Amino acid sequence: MLQAEIVLNYLLWTLVLMPISVLLLILFPLRYSFLSGNSWNFILEGLYKYILGFFKSISNFAAIKYFPYIVLLFCFILFSNLLGLVPYGFTITSQILTTFLLSISTFIGVTLIGFYNNKFNLIKFFIPSSVSQPALLGFLVIIEILSYIIRPFSLGIRLFANMLAGHTLIFILGNFAYSIVLKNIVLIMFIPFAVILMIMLLEFCIAFIQTYVFCILTIIYINDMFNVSH
C-alpha cells in the first residue's frame, strides 16, 4: 500500500508541476502585457532576468536558442524542490527516477546538439590539443570519454541525494517532535521545533542552490558543444 501511495503521489504531482512549468514558459514573453502593474509581473520578470543573466554569463550567443529549455528546466526543478516543504506536498526530485530522467534526457539532448553542430568533428572534444605524447594522449582521451559518460549520473545523483537527505532529516525530526508532544515533555518541546524550522530554512536555500547548479551545469554542457576544441 505504501509503494502504491508513493507512486500515486509521484504521478499526481508530476502531472501538476509540468503544466505549471510550461505555463510559466509561455507567460515569460508576455510579462509586459496583461500582467503589467501586477506584483506577479515583478516576480516573473525578476525570475526571467535572473535565468537569462546566468545563461548569458556562461554560454555564447549561438547557444541562446536553447534558453527556453533552461527556463522550463529551472521552473520544473525549483517547484519540485519547494513542493516538499509544503504540508502534504511530495518532492518528486527526491525520487531517483525523476532526477535520472532529467539528467539522462538532458545528456542525450546535449549530445545530439553536439552532433548537429559539429558532425564527426565532435571527436575533437575528447582529444586535448596541448598534448603531443601518444601514450599520454591515449590515456587522457579515455579519461575525457569516461568523464563525459559520468555527467548524467553526477547530475542526477547530486540533485536526488540533496533533496532526499534534507527531507528525510525533516521527517525524522518531525516524528521526534511529535513523540515529545505526546509525552508532554514541555521543557524541551520547543527544541525539535526550532531545529525543524532551521532545517526548513536551510532546505529552502538548498532547493534554489540545487536548481541553480543543475541548470548551470546544463548550460556549460550545451556551451561545450559549441567549443569542441580545447
Q: Do 127 and 137 meet the contact criterion of CB atoms below 8 Å apart?
A: yes
pLDDT value at residue 51: 81
Is pTM beyond 0.75? Reply is yes
CA distances from 102 to 8, 18, 72, 82, 151 (A): 20, 13, 11, 17, 12
pLDDT value at residue 103: 92
pLDDT value at residue 17: 73
| Domain definitions of the chain by residue range | 2-224
pLDDT value at residue 47: 75
Which ranges of the chain have pLDDT less than 70? 1-13, 22, 24-44, 131-132, 184-189, 228-230
State pLDDT tens for residues 44-61: 677 777 888 878 777 777
The distance between the two most distant Cα atoms of the chain, rounded to a whole number of Å, is 73
Place of cell 520578470: 45
pLDDT value at residue 27: 61
pLDDT value at residue 187: 59
Rounded to whole angstroms, the Cα distance separating 230 from 224 reads: 9
Phi, then psi, of 130 in degrees rounded to 5: -95, 5
State pLDDT tens for residues 172-196: 877 777 777 777 665 566 777 777 7
pLDDT value at residue 197: 81
pLDDT value at residue 34: 45
The rounded Cα 165 to chain-centroid distance in angstroms is: 15
